[in-house]
Structure 1
Amino acid sequence: MYEATFELQGEGLVAELSREFSADIQLWCNDHSDLLYVRSERVASFRDELSGAVGIQESIRQGNQLVVVTDHCLRKEEQTLVETHLADNGCLSLPPLIYENGTKRSKVLALDPASLTAVYEGLRDDGAVTVRAKREIKGLHPDVPVLGLDDVFPRLSDRQFETFRVACDSGYYEVPRGTTTEEIGERLGIDRRTAEYHLRRAENKIAASLADHLTLLQ
Structure 2
Amino acid sequence: MYEATFEFQADGLVAALSREYDAAIQLWCNEHCDLLYVRSERMDDLRSELEEQVGLQESIQEGNQLVTVTDQCLRQEEQTLVETHLANEGCLSLPPLIYESGRKQSKVLALDPAALTAVYNGLRQETRVNVLAKREINGLHPEVPILGLDDVLPRLSARQLETFRIAHTRGYYELPRETTTAKLGDELGVNRRTVEEHLRRAENKIAAALANHLTLLQ
Q: TM-score range by the shorter chain?
A: 0.7 to 0.9
Instruction: Name the structure 1 match of 2:66.
Output: 66
CA distance in 2, matches of 1:59, 1:3: 32
**Matched pairs, number:** 218
Output the CA distance in 2 between the equivalents of 1:126 and 1:68.
32
How far apart in 2 are the matches of 1:198 and 1:20? 26
Report the aligned-residue RMSD: 2.3
For residue 106 of structure 1, what is the aligned residue in structure 2?
A: 106
Report the CA distance between 1:206 and its aligned residue.
0.4
How many Å separate the matches in 2 of 1:182 and 1:102? 38
Aligned equivalent of 1:164: 164
AA aligned to 2:32 is: H
Q: Which runs of 5+ in 1 are unaligned?
A: none
Q: Distance in 1 between matches of 2:109 and 2:17?
A: 27
Over 3 Å counting, the alpha-carbon distance change for 1:165 and 1:139 in structure 2 is closer
The 3 A distance-change label for structure 1 pair 139 and 192 is closer
Contact 1:13–1:78 (Cα < 8 Å) also in 2: yes
Aligned pair 1:88/2:88, yes or no? Answer: yes
Q: 1:216 to 1:128 in 2, by over 3 A?
A: same
Change (3 A) 1:61 1:130: same
TM-score computed with the length of structure 2 as normaliser: 0.87
Deviation (angstroms), 1:142: 5.0
| Overall identity of the aligned pairs, in % | 73
Alpha-carbon distance change, 44 to 163 in structure 1, aligned in 2, over 3 angstroms = farther
* Amino acid across the alignment from 2:34: D
Q: Secondary structure at the match of 1:210?
A: helix
Query: Corresponding residue for 2:203?
Result: 203
Q: Give the direction of change, closer, same or farther, for the CA distance of 1:77–1:178 in structure 2 (3 Å limit).
A: farther
In the TM superposition, what is the alpha-carbon distance from 1:98 to its structure 2 partner?
2.1
Letter of the 2:36 counterpart? L
| Aligned amino acid, residue 190 of structure 1 | V
Provide closer, same or farther for how the CA distance between residues 142 and 185 of structure 1 changes in structure 2, counting only shifts above 3 A. Answer: closer
Instruction: Report the alpha carbon displacement of residue 139 of structure 1 after superposing the two structures with TM.
Output: 4.6
Q: Any unmatched runs of 5+ in structure 2?
A: none
For the residues of structure 2 that align with 1:28 and 1:64, how far apart are their CA atoms? 19
The alignment's TM-score, normalised by the length of structure 1, stands at: 0.87
Describe how 1:83-162 pairs up with structure 2 within 5 A.
Answer: 83-162=83-162
Tell me, in whole angstroms, the C-alpha distance in 1 between the residues paired with 2:74 and 2:114: 29
> Partner of 2:187: helix, strand, or coil?
helix
Q: 1:103 to 1:160 in 2, by over 3 A?
A: farther
Aligned twin of 1:215? 215
